């Protein structure tokens, strides 16, 4: 017996039910053409993930059901079973996998394990299911259905399904990207398949949604924990693969190999489906190559997909950003040009009396190398005009952060003026090291619709810029931008290191504090100076108010500012004192 599986690693648009339905229909057409037995979509595919408070709208719940009904109708007369992610609702709402076949909703499965940590709020929206679903085909093939978190839990419903004789376990997911997660996730899936001794078909969402990027990387794994087919990361793809799930060795394998698992028995619901699995025709061979990426290629592609989807899904096609001559704006410009084409990226140079000649030259060279347009709008006169108006009120008080921020805010105003005038989305160019320490001006360089490198540490921005130049085959981002000392150029001879420790040290401390929630003592034990650690933590804590008003960024670390790290602004817990 041969089972032909279609993996629909598609990019849904949150809330855009019709667009998602159309994609689903096309995938089903293709599956029919390829004579697939089963076609698997990502979690909540018809609504997009995460739909957030749309789930609290009765109208949205109803419309999502209408959309599903249209899909069901469309499946009539077709011989492919669909596993479709959508909402279900009675008194409560459920994150649901629907089994659709030949014009009928054959069964549905309510996700049992609802993640409610990190960026996830599923317990805000959904009630958990309470019984695993096992499908049984006419000729005995058994397929278990799970949704995302269900498969991460070691003793979750997959265990019940395996116990009940599942040959294949399907998992539909919307699993967000973080650095290194594709590899970790794959290891988890391999472990799960081998400990359960079942085939595992894992289909993940791909695409960007506000702060989150879903990286795809769908796979089929055999009961030995070996990858037999792997889909690319960060790309939409529909692939088909034939597996032979009822092998003569499998039952023996399960007896001999599987670990002893302790679990609460769920009440497995068995749904018999009137479909025979026995395919003839071409055998589609799997691609056993595991499609993982190198570290910076992986992050780069995540940023690119997140940026692209944020701009396009919001109905825009062009972006504008300030070019300071520094690495952050240079890299964001390069990323944007690579994502949208350089004709869709406008860079604004906004020199002041404190701007170095190098900054202007470097920006112009960068723009030339990228082939993007620039405008130069000097801020000196406007800055002086504003200072003059403020002169009486500010009396003889010394220049301080007020005057520095005025410059940054005039620049923010100019970038936003281009955004408003031409309908481009403004990109903020702050990196995570800056956003963490508040080394950025609210409403100034923090202004913009999206902050693409908000979750990338400064030291990593350099690495990504190196990667960019490598793929482009030369110094597209000019060498001088790599070698000069980072500076905000808001007063004479300023450098970032006037106020911050060297970035290698800063980033190491930030990572330990933010991502690993290490204490001062634990960070000091890792070899960092105590006063420096306390100073950095103080900066992070005191600048929560700025981050609360910052543009959304693209999450690439395991703890991003935004939905992922929810600290109070008003916070008397001051461990640095």
For the annotated catalytic residues, the residue numbers are: 43, 111, 148
For a second copy, the closer CB: 300 or 383: 383
CB of 275 to a second copy, least distance (A): 33
Specify which residues 219 forms β-bridges with: 202, 230
- Residue carrying structure tokens 């499998």: 250
What's the min distance (Å) between Cβ of 159 and a second copy? 21
C-alpha 419/C-alpha 411 separation (Å) is 12
> Known binder of ligand: residue 322?
yes
CA 87 – CA 64 distance, rounded (Å)? 7
Token code pair at residue 273: 């489906």
Smallest distance from a second copy to CB 271, Å: 30
Establish whether 324 is an annotated binding residue.
yes
377 CB burial (10 A radius; 0-12, 13-18, 19+): middle
Residues 6+ apart with CB under 8 A from 556: 177, 178, 179, 213, 299, 302, 303, 455, 456
CB 575 within 8 A of CB 518: no
Annotated binding-site residue? 397: no
Closest approach of a second copy to the CB of residue 60, in Å: 6
327 annotated ligand binder: yes
Least distance (Å) between residue 405 CB and a second copy: 5
Please state the closest distance from residue 329 (CB atom) to a second copy, in A. Answer: 18
Q: Is 69 annotated as a binding residue?
A: no
Q: Per the annotation, does 326 bind a ligand?
A: yes
Whose Cβ is closer to a second copy: residue 272's or residue 548's? 548
Q: Which residue has tokens 């794994």?
A: 221
Buried b (16+ CB within 10 A) or exposed e, 295-331: ebbbbbbbbbbbbbbbbebeebebbbbbbbbbbbbbb
**Based on CB atoms, which residue is closest to a second copy, 125 or 462?**
125
* 456 vs 518 by CB, closer to a second copy: 518
* Distance between CA atoms of residues 456 and 564, nearest Å: 15
**Residue 174 · residue 97 · CB < 8 Å:** no
8 and 238 Cβ atoms separated by less than 8 Å: yes
Provide, rounded to whole angstroms, the least separation between the CB of residue 476 and a second copy.
Answer: 25
Q: Are strands 237-243 and 3-9 parallel, antiparallel or unpaired?
A: antiparallel
Closer to a second copy by Cβ: residue 324 or 382: 382
Among residues 59 and 492, whose Cβ is nearest to a second copy?
59
What the block records as the tokens of 464 is 């990504």
Closest CB to a second copy among 209 and 324? 209
Give yes or no for a contact between 509 and 519, defined as CB atoms under 8 angstroms apart: no
Dmax over CA atoms of the chain, in Å, equals 90
419 among the known binding-site residues?
A: no
- Annotated binding residue 303: no
Nearest in space to 262 (alpha carbons), one of 141, 370, 155? 155
Mark the binding-site residues, compressed into ranges.
Answer: 117, 175, 181, 322-329, 405, 429, 434, 546
Residues belonging to the binding site for ATP are 322-329, 429
Residues making up the annotated binding site for deamido-NAD(+) are: 405, 434, 546
């Amino acid at each position: 017996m041969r089972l032909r599986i279609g993996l629909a690693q598609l990019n849904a648009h949150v809330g855009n039910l019709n667009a998602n339905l159309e994609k689903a229909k096309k995938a089903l057409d293709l599956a029919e053409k390829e004579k697939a037995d089963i076609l698997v979509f990502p979690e909540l595919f018809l609504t997009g993930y995460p739909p957030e408070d749309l789930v609290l709208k009765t109208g949205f719940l109803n419309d999502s059901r209408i959309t599903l009904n249209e899909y069901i109708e469309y499946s009539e007369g077709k011989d492919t079973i669909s596993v479709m992610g959508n909402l279900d609702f009675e008194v409560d709402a459920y994150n649901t996998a629907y089994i659709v076949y030949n014009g009928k909703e054959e069964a549905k499965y309510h996700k049992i394990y609802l993640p409610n940590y990190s960026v996830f709020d599923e317990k805000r929206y959904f009630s958990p299911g309470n019984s695993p679903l096992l499908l049984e085909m006419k000729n005995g093939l058994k397929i278990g259905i799970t949704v995302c978190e269900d498969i991460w839990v070691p003793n979750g419903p997959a265990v019940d399904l395996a116990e009940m004789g599942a040959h294949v376990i399907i998992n539909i997911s919307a699993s967000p990207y973080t650095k290194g997660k594709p590899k970790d996730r794959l290891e988890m899936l391999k472990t799960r398949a081998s400990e359960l001794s079942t085939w595992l078909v894992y289909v993940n969402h791909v695409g960007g949604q506000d702060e989150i990027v879903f990286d795809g990387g769908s796979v089929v794994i055999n009961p030995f924990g070996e990858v037999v087919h792997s889909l690319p990361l960060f790309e939409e793809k529909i692939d088909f693969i034939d597996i032979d799930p009822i092998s003569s060795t499998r039952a023996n394998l399960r007896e001999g190999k599987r670990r002893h698992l302790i679990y609460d028995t769920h009440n497995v619901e068995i749904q018999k489906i009137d479909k025979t699995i026995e395919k003839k025709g071409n055998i589609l061979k799997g691609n056993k190559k595991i499609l993982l990426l190198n570290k910076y290629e992986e992050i780069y592609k995540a940023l690119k997909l997140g940026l692209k989807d944020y701009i396009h899904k919001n109905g825009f096609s062009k972006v504008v950003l300030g070019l300071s001559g520094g690495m952050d704006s240079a890299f964001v410009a390069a990323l944007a040009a690579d994502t949208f084409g350089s004709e869709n990226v406008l860079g604004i140079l906004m020199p002041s009396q404190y701007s170095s000649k190098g900054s202007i030259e470097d920006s112009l060279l960068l723009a030339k190398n990228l082939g993007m347009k620039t405008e130069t709008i000097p801020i000196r006169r406007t800055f002086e005009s504003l200072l003059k108006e403020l002169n009486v009120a500010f009396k003889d008080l010394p220049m301080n952060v007020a005057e520095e921020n005025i410059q940054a805010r005039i620049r923010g105003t100019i970038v936003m003026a281009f955004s408003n005038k031409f309908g481009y989305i403004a990109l903020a160019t702050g990196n995570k090291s800056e956003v963490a320490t508040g080394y950025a001006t609210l409403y100034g360089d923090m202004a913009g619709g999206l902050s693409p490198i908000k979750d990338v540490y400064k030291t990593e921005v350099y690495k990504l810029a190196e990667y960019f130049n490598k793929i482009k085959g030369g110094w597209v981002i000019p060498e001088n931008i790599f070698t000069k000392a980072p500076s905000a150029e808001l007063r004479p001879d300023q450098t970032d290191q006037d106020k911050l420790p060297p970035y290698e040290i800063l980033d190491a401390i930030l990572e330990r504090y933010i991502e690993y929630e290490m204490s001062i003592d634990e960070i000091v034990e890792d070899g960092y100076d105590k006063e420096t650690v306390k100073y950095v933590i103080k900066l992070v804590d005191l600048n929560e108010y700025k981050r609360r008003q910052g543009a959304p960024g693209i999450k690439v670390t395991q703890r991003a500012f935004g939905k992922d790290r929810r600290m109070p602004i008003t916070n008397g817990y001051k461990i640095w004192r």
